[in-house]
Structure 1
Amino acid sequence: MSKKNQSKAETYSFFSCIEKNFDKAARYIPIKKGLLEQIKACNAVYRMHFPIKIGKEIQVIEAYRVQHSHHKLPCKGGIRYSIKVNQDEVMTLAALMTYKCAIVDVPFGGAKGGIKIDPQIISVENIEKITRRYTSELIKKNFIGPGIDVPAPDYGTGEREMSWIFDTFLSLTHGEVDAIACVTGKPVSQGGVRGRKEATGLGVFYGIRELCKMKEEMLSVGLDVGLNGKKVIIQGLGNVGYHAAKFFHEAGAIIVALAEREGAIYNKKGLNVSNVILHLKNTGSILNFPESKNIEDTEKALELECDLLIPAALENVIHKYNANRIKAKIIGEAANGPVTPEADDILGKKGVIIVPDIYLNAGGVTVSYFEWLKNLSHVRYGRMEKRFSENMNTELLQVIENSCRKKIPIEEKKMILRGPREIDLVRSGLEDTMINGFHKIRDLKKSLKIENLRTAAFVLAINKIIDSYEKLGIFP
């Protein structure tokens, strides 16, 4: 069997990959093994089968909700709709959520849900039936609630499905004053928060931007400080990949390649992401985009010359059979588990900096946390401080104009006077979270002389979980 065929045929247990990374981190933590095993294990796995009438037939739907950790409540994690959903995947993603939340100081335990369907071939009416039935099953077993377990969108789901979940929960839990906080990722009109849609992609951008400000790290991979002019390849043009590409492009990076399922496109001078998306909408494919070269094998696009590689779609796309051919100096894991443990070791020996998924794609859960807080407070962001800020800025400008005896141009005045909108506050909070998270990981890596950012991120997460358990009096 050729190496290429081996890479296609070999399968990885997603959960075992996380366990390997956990075990690497455990070497730096002076605590009894049994206690580490408690942190590693999933607390609760709810596997369900329920019948749904689709057309004239009854179909049995397989679905899951996993709560990985109860060190903090509620649990938090998305729900994905995919024909590939299985227990191993959902358990792994729930574990990742626990570690992500710990790293970015979001007070949730990790959870994840999944329904084994292909939403592309099921009618909207039947997707709604399945979503509402799934929600009712979660309610029966006490697996959903603003203080228990709060779902969110994931692969194959969005605002529409979250709206159905909220409506079903509201109709079946009479008198729950905080019912609106039972799920996040809702439409703004139903208590959602502005900025949620682009949150994960923007968080990826903030995390990589902070790394690229570090002179020591940039020197180690032979790059200049900053994002301007850096060549970027992004695999996956879904919600995360698109927004990451957009923000990198706006910051002056050069998007040299974009990869999707059907293939990839390449232009060494750079691709305009907005135009590529327009082409995709018009033709159904990114291929044959003007002034770009088609690459039939998506995996080959990952091996092109670039400074930054952002896998933003599938797990295990960088593995032991292609890791040696990766030319990127920095890999930012926008997707969950895109680099296998074997590839991690190979890339580490080559000096590649990998910014791990358990930190880098935590933007979504961070902004979900902001939405949850907004729902619990029953006050929209900006309501109390917007006018106050505008009035204070007005007084300040008057003082400046009187002192300088010069009028400030009207357009500039409008920009300065405007108080913070909800999206401004959300993005500011996300930026601060991602910057602080990066420096905590980097500082821990240096102080304990840990080999890479991934292991340091796991050590940080585990230590925070241990601290939570000790405060609860669970660990002796």
Structure 2
Amino acid sequence: MSAQQEYSFFGAVEKSFDKAAQFTNWDPGILEQIKQCNSVYRMHFPVKIGDKIEVIKAYRVQHSHHKTPCKGGIRFATTVNLDEVMALAALMTYKCAIVNVPFGGAKGGINIDPKKYTPYELEKITRRYTHELIKKNFIGPGTDVPAPDYGTGEREMAWILDTYMSMNPGEVEAIGCVTGKPVTQGGVRGRREATGLGVFYGIREVCNMPKVMEERGMTVGVENKTVVVQGLGNVGYHAAKFFREGGAKVIAIAEFEGAILNPAGLDEEAVFQHRKKTGSILNFPGATNLATSNDALELECDILIPAALENVINGDNAPRVKARIIGEAANGPLTPEADEILASKNILVVPDMYLNAGGVTVSYFEWLKNLSHVRYGRLEKRFTENQNKNIIQQIESLTGKKMQPAERVALEHGPDEVDLVYSGLEETMISATREIMECWQNNPGIPDMRTAAYVVAINKVATSYNELGIFP
């Protein structure tokens, strides 16, 4: 059996949990309850594909019911298995707790290669999967709210919404049964880029901490930092975009076909268009090709962003990693063995369990929007603009000077939905980063930031269980 087959993602999450649990004072029974997956639904259902009937294997795991609804994405991939879905559901519980989003963790997956099916066939599979979830009460605005993940997007969420609404006619909150929907179907502006933007906000806050940067011989701020991004999907693309716009230099981008390097910096949109045109990021003008995607992980850089799949940095390649900060944009890109090695090299690992929480944070905003039935900014945008205009007119009247048109537009602007979403996400990521760092600094025995993040999560989930009074 290969090392890849032996590796248990859920086992790795449990190992990290146990490492952190020793820094808490909770009853072992509460800790055991938090660790376990509360509900596991494994299903097989038939779908007619062409002239044949295909049996589809799928899962939905609700890890914790300490808060409801449960929340977590649905992924379409041939790698989907029960171990992976359980691990991702557990991470969702801890992630939501850290960023103060009041959901229990969940995850779903369908074991298919979406590229091998037509849109019509994918729609049939998605709708049938939704029917199965409805039958067992594994979906609903107050029960379990799915979202997009690897291999899925707004289109699939619209199919899920339509199926749920047709099965629950007249349910006034039905639109909140799923998030990551198209804006026209109750989605929220800013959801698409949310995870990548959250990664940027989290790393930027870490880079703004003088003590943390001094310990690694780095200057404060993200400006002029060199960044390597593995993965040019939705998360990797937007992380690269916001780092570049924030003044950092993205020197390398990796995808499954290989990697490209340009010390002068890369423009993610140009690389994306090149890949769209040629089918590969390789041979991008001005960049050097690297033989494999994994070569990019070992480049000299300030910040490394693994934004692809799990287990890419492990006991084998961790000794060769030269980045000074690693931001886990993907779920579980580092193994526990890699954590130990990187900690010994004074490389700061900013953990996935809160760093990629941008998606669920903005999904929470979308869910709230759906329950309130009103778009963000609709009630206050014009009021704020009119107030700002009055203030500017008063200043101009008192000073006798006129403001430049561009400055006037910027100052008069009232918040649109996307402005409020970005603002809420920024506040969430900054607060979570500071809370984790404070926990780490106040507990000298905690070895790394991941363990500190788990301690924060365990304390919040355990407090919820305690206050529910389920332990007489």
Is the counterpart of residue 141 in structure 1 residue 150 in structure 2?
no
Q: CA deviation at 1:10?
A: 6.1
Match of 1:448 in 2: 443
Match of 1:393 in 2: 388
Write out per-residue CA displacement over residues 346-375 of structure 1, whole angstroms, 9 at most, x where no aligned residue. Answer: 000010000000010000000000000000
CA distance in 1, matches of 2:96, 2:42: 24
Q: CA deviation at 1:84?
A: 1.1
CA distance in 1, matches of 2:184, 2:127: 20
After superposing on structure 2, the runs of 4+ consecutive aligned residues of structure 1 that deviate more than 3 Å are: none
Is the counterpart of residue 297 in structure 1 residue 262 in structure 2?
no
Q: CA deviation at 1:410?
A: 2.0
CA distance in 2, matches of 1:388, 1:319: 53
Match of 1:246 in 2: 241
Give me the TM-score of the superposition, normalised by structure 1: 0.98
Match of 2:459 in 1: 463
CA distance in 2, matches of 1:416, 1:269: 35
Match of 1:93 in 2: 88
Is the counterpart of residue 319 in structure 1 residue 314 in structure 2?
yes
Q: CA deviation at 1:268?
A: 1.3
CA distance in 1, matches of 2:274, 2:245: 19
Write out per-residue CA displacement over residues 359-415 of structure 1, whole angstroms, 9 at most, x where no aligned residue. Answer: 100000000000000000001000111011011101100110011111112222112
Is the counterpart of residue 131 in structure 1 residue 119 in structure 2?
no
Which AA in structure 2 matches 1:452?
A: D
Q: Which moved more, 1:78-87 or 1:402-411?
A: 402-411
Match of 2:35 in 1: 40
Q: Which moved more, 1:150-159 or 1:447-456?
A: 447-456
Which AA in structure 1 matches 2:98?
A: I
Partners of 2:154 and 2:181 within 8 A in 1: yes
Which AA in structure 2 matches 1:206?
A: Y
Q: CA deviation at 1:11?
A: 4.0
**What is the alpha-carbon root mean square deviation over aligned residues?**
1.1
Q: Which moved more, 1:29-38 or 1:460-469?
A: 29-38
SS class of match (1:402): helix
Write out per-residue CA displacement over residues 48-88 of structure 1, whole angstroms, 9 at most, x where no aligned residue. Answer: 11111111111111111100000000000000001111000
Which AA in structure 1 matches 2:257?
A: E
Write out per-residue CA displacement over residues 417-441 of structure 1, whole angstroms, 9 at most, x where no aligned residue. Answer: 1110000000000000000000000
The share of aligned pairs that are identical, in percent, is 65
Is the counterpart of residue 69 in structure 1 residue 64 in structure 2?
yes
Write out per-residue CA displacement over residues 175-231 of structure 1, whole angstroms, 9 at most, x where no aligned residue. Answer: 210000000000000100000000000000000000000111111111111111111
Q: CA deviation at 1:12?
A: 1.2
Mapping of 1:48-447 within 5 angstroms? 48-447=43-442
CA distance in 2, matches of 1:258, 1:31: 43
Q: CA deviation at 1:32?
A: 2.0
Q: CA deviation at 1:300?
A: 1.4
Q: CA deviation at 1:475?
A: 3.0
Write out per-residue CA displacement over residues 314-346 of structure 1, whole angstroms, 9 at most, x where no aligned residue. Answer: 111111111110000000000011110001000
CA distance in 2, matches of 1:227, 1:411: 27
Write out per-residue CA displacement over residues 12-69 of structure 1, whole angstroms, 9 at most, x where no aligned residue. Answer: 1000000000000000111221221110000000011111111111111111110000
CA distance in 1, matches of 2:300, 2:461: 39
Write out per-residue CA displacement over residues 82-122 of structure 1, whole angstroms, 9 at most, x where no aligned residue. Answer: 11110000000000000000000000000000011110011
Partners of 2:26 and 2:462 within 8 A in 1: no
Which AA in structure 2 matches 1:475?
A: F
- Gap runs ≥5 in structure 2: none
Q: CA deviation at 1:6?
A: 7.7
Aligned match for 2:469, one of 456, 470, 473 = 473
Query: Cα distance 1:215–1:351, how it changes in 2: closer, same or farther (>3 A)?
Result: same
Which AA in structure 2 matches 1:455?
A: T
Give me the TM-score of the superposition, normalised by structure 2: 0.98
Query: Cα distance 1:302–1:35, how it changes in 2: closer, same or farther (>3 A)?
Result: same
Write out per-residue CA displacement over residues 279-322 of structure 1, whole angstroms, 9 at most, x where no aligned residue. Answer: 11111110000111101111111111101000000111111111
CA distance in 2, matches of 1:11, 1:269: 41
Q: CA deviation at 1:248?
A: 0.3
CA distance in 2, matches of 1:275, 1:142: 45
CA distance in 1, matches of 2:276, 2:61: 35
